[in-house]
Amino acid sequence: MKTTQVVKGKQISSWILFVLSSACGLIVANLYYAQTLIGPISIDTGLSSVAAGLIVTLTQIGYVIGLLFIVPLSDIIENRRLAVISLIVVIGALLTATFSANAPLFLTSSLFIGLGSVVAQILVPYATYLASEEQRGRVVGNVMSGLLLGIMFARPVASLIAGLWGWQAVFAFSAVVITLLTILLSRILPERKPSPALSYGKLVVSLGVLLKQTPILRRRAIYQACLFGVFSLFWTVVPLRLANDFAMSQQGIALFALAGVGGAIAAPIAGRLADRGLTRILTGLAMIIAALSFVLTYLVQGHSAVALALLVLAAILLDMAVSGNLVLGQRAIYSLGNEARGRLNGLFMSIFFIGGAIGSSLGGWSYAHGGWSFTSLIGIVIPLLALLYFLTEKKRNV
């Protein structure tokens, strides 16, 4: 098969950009399908209610492992081939999950679904290699909006498909989609051969050095970890509140989840504005909006229509803050250099995913001990702490 070498400064085509954006969304959705299906999966595989949380936890653990040990390979291995191999792992894991009849087999497949799905974080920096410097913010914004749409649509789509054909159909459907996507990417993506200066072992060791020596990476990762933490806190707890306070069914909660999709519009907008030098202003604004989204729901609680409307508005605002700041962070770290871009992205994503995992755990604990009031107070405080830290940043570091 004839391939095309990536040319520095080349203008990325709209078609390739659309494919990469769609691919990132379809791939990363695999991390979130199981979140609304824990109940039926636990029953069918014999998982206890105490161990049911492992379904999501192991997927996230697999993803973090992949971010730290697979994504850096994009700095030494031809990117298209690495993406295809990773997607084959995902397909195998999805098919295993589909036909799993016991908990150990399903949990193992969950781990490998997360591990292989890091290909999304190989494709995001790959897109920037295809773009010129002038396009970078717009390209990152468009690709990340596709990824975020995948995250936001995954939960409602999984609930609707499972309601019609059972939870197994969700994983089977995704396996078919990812198979077709793998074939498409293998045929249309230009190849990109990095010029590695380090062996794989030294590459992994260099992650610690990069983190220590790159203040922009540390700051942007902490900013996003805080915002993604409250994002995860919100979406962990809000289904419980919707069921308890508004007596919503699984279908109603799925429809509510669609409200957050509107927040994805912030990603391409943030990318374009960042290209105009507005990164610093937008970063502070994202933190303020995240805190305000929880303020709205803290001030008006109860079972009224107004409370529900404010909850919907909070979902949209919070998703806008998180998606916009994510693009700002990735654009900033991608400007640090080509050769380490895969490692920088892997570190950035792994740190803020850890923040998300902490947020999810914190949400369950806070809701159990203090209800929505306590949870929303935590959601207000964390972005404000991030804002205080942000205000210590020198302008030249943005």
pLDDT of residue 239: 77
Task: Tally the domains of the chain.
Answer: 2
CATH number at residue 52: 1.20.1250.20
In a domain, 291, yes or no: yes
Same domain, 346 and 241: yes
Last residue within a domain, chosen from 195, 227, 248: 195
In a domain, 329, yes or no: yes
Same domain, 203 and 263: yes
Same domain, 260 and 392: yes
Residues in the chain where the model's pLDDT stays below 70:
1-11, 49-53, 133, 197, 250, 337-339, 395-398
pLDDT of residue 83: 94
Last residue within a domain, chosen from 150, 177, 195: 195
In a domain, 3, yes or no: no
Same domain, 284 and 260: yes
Q: What is the pLDDT of residues 374-389, one digit of tens each?
A: 999 999 999 999 999 9
Rounded distance between C-alpha atoms, residue 314 and residue 292, angstroms: 8
pLDDT of residue 24: 94
Same domain, 238 and 349: yes
> pTM, whole model, 2 decimals?
0.77
In a domain, 346, yes or no: yes
In a domain, 6, yes or no: no
Same domain, 35 and 165: yes
Same domain, 219 and 167: no
Last residue within a domain, chosen from 195, 216, 247: 195
Same domain, 394 and 328: yes
Domain around 182: 11-195
Q: What is the pLDDT of residues 3-59, one digit of tens each?
A: 444 444 456 788 888 999 999 999 999 998 887 777 788 889 888 755 666 777 788
Q: How many Å from the N-terminal Cα to the C-terminal Cα in the chain?
A: 42
Same domain, 156 and 248: no
Rounded distance between C-alpha atoms, residue 334 and residue 135, angstroms: 12
pLDDT of residue 49: 57
Same domain, 184 and 275: no
Same domain, 149 and 257: no
In a domain, 184, yes or no: yes
In a domain, 33, yes or no: yes
Same domain, 260 and 352: yes
In a domain, 110, yes or no: yes
